[in-house]
Structure 1
């Protein structure tokens, strides 16, 4: 095995958005072609390293090969990727607007109107202000599933829309996140990386809501958001697996 050739092949194939079986077939074809080219140069009397370099140069530039292979595998890949980025941008804007920007606008408008009421943040009358430990306790929940259990078991105390929004709603709102990440970011192809990204984003939003006094920090929201992204990730993986089934069946016949 030639390390340069193997690295060259790996760098090209790793960028392709296709199934593992297709990748293995492409690797085998590229490997056969490259080693044939290298042997031709060796027979012409070139040293091993130079023969490898000439074979790689003749085979083609990596970016162009990756682009060509991706287009042959998925002719509308560019259109699909642009469309996916647009949808991800719209999704991100809607989420940030709903959870942050909309609340900030409401608080600004209430301040302009002279109102001291804050529907998102509880401040006791005799507290010492924002950094009062009691205020932080009232506006924070760090006990996993504490509030979720209260919503689920407290149907007599909460309206149905409140229960749904704070349980199922928190799952569904991050479900698209688990779909978009592996589609758009090559570093987020694994479930563990999607979970880390989801925790980071959700936790940051919760902290910002608390710091800006436009919401309360709830660890349950983070957990439910991450559950939603996991469901989204598993969903897109399942769709990809099903999409590859016909090809596998044809090859096995």
Structure 2
């Protein structure tokens, strides 16, 4: 393949927000059109280098082509991008507030205003004031241990506690699996979504434990990650359904 044409096409398509398969189809169509133009100029007597330059000049300016393609892919892309960032910011604030800031506020209110030394978020005992004793009572590293306890102990726990600690942990990270691929191109694969979800959830769990505003539970990390995976698969399904309804996006712009 002509390196000049390859570089020209890469600059046009690199910033397109679409599925890789869809981008590959666009690139293939652009290659066909450019080589067709190049061969026409060669038949007119131009050298290969001159024909390449003529083909690129007649094909169009790269930035305009990129904008045209993106407009074909998504007519309201800019508005959508801004709206997605706003929703992601709101989602991030809600998550951090519910899991960290709200608990800190409640702890400070209990202690400094109400004079209550009891910590509602962690287990303490007169016989367990040492660090390792604290970890023993406030950490769970056995997968699904607490989840099965909630499910099997429906007669011992309120329904809201069971839902919050099972279904709630799934749903709270579901939007993350949607926002990350929409806003950051590097999160275009399942493995990257899983890694990001684990890191974020694990960090929150550690912060809760370190600040004495929650227990560390590996089940939360697992369920949060599953929630993000569900969100990612949902986004893939929607994208696939939309792609099936489209024809050749590239041909609409030329």
TM-score relative to the length of structure 2? 0.85
The corresponding residue for 1:115 is 116
1:187 paired to 2:172: no
- Residue 29 and residue 118 in structure 1: after superposition, are their counterparts in 2 closer, same or farther (change >3 A)? same
Q: Aligned residues, how many?
A: 245
Query: In structure 2, do the counterparts of structure 1 residues 217 and 43 end up closer, same or farther at CA, with 3 Å as the change threshold?
Result: farther
Q: Whose relative contact order is higher, 1 or 2, with alpha carbons under 8 Å and at least 6 apart?
A: 2
Q: Distance in 2 between matches of 1:202 and 1:127?
A: 27
Instruction: Provide the alpha-carbon RMSD of the alignment.
Output: 2.6
List alignment gaps of at least 5 residues for structure 1: none
Inter-CA distance 19–136: structure 2 relative to 1 (3 Å threshold):
closer
Q: Which runs of 5+ in 2 are unaligned?
A: 249-254
In structure 2, the residue corresponding to 1:115 is in which secondary structure?
coil
* Mean Cα deviation higher: 208-217 or 6-15: 6-15
Q: 1:6 to 1:103 in 2, by over 3 A?
A: same
SS of residue in 2 equivalent to 1:123: coil
Question: For the residues of structure 1 that align with 2:69 and 2:229, how far apart are their CA atoms?
Answer: 30
CA distance in 2, matches of 1:181, 1:126: 45
Say whether residues 1:153 and 2:152 are aligned partners: yes
TM-score (norm: length of structure 1)? 0.85
In the TM superposition, what is the alpha-carbon distance from 1:242 to its structure 2 partner? 1.3
- Measure the CA separation in 1 of the matches of 2:81 and 2:18: 14
Whole-angstrom CA distance in 1 between matches of 2:178 and 2:224: 13
* 3-state SS of paired residue (1:214): coil
- Separation (CA, whole Å) in 2 of partners of 1:23 and 1:83: 24
Tell me the distance in 2 between the aligned counterparts of 1:61 and 1:157: 68
- Does 1:32 find its partner at 2:32? yes
Deviation of 1:71 after TM superposition, in Å, equals 1.4
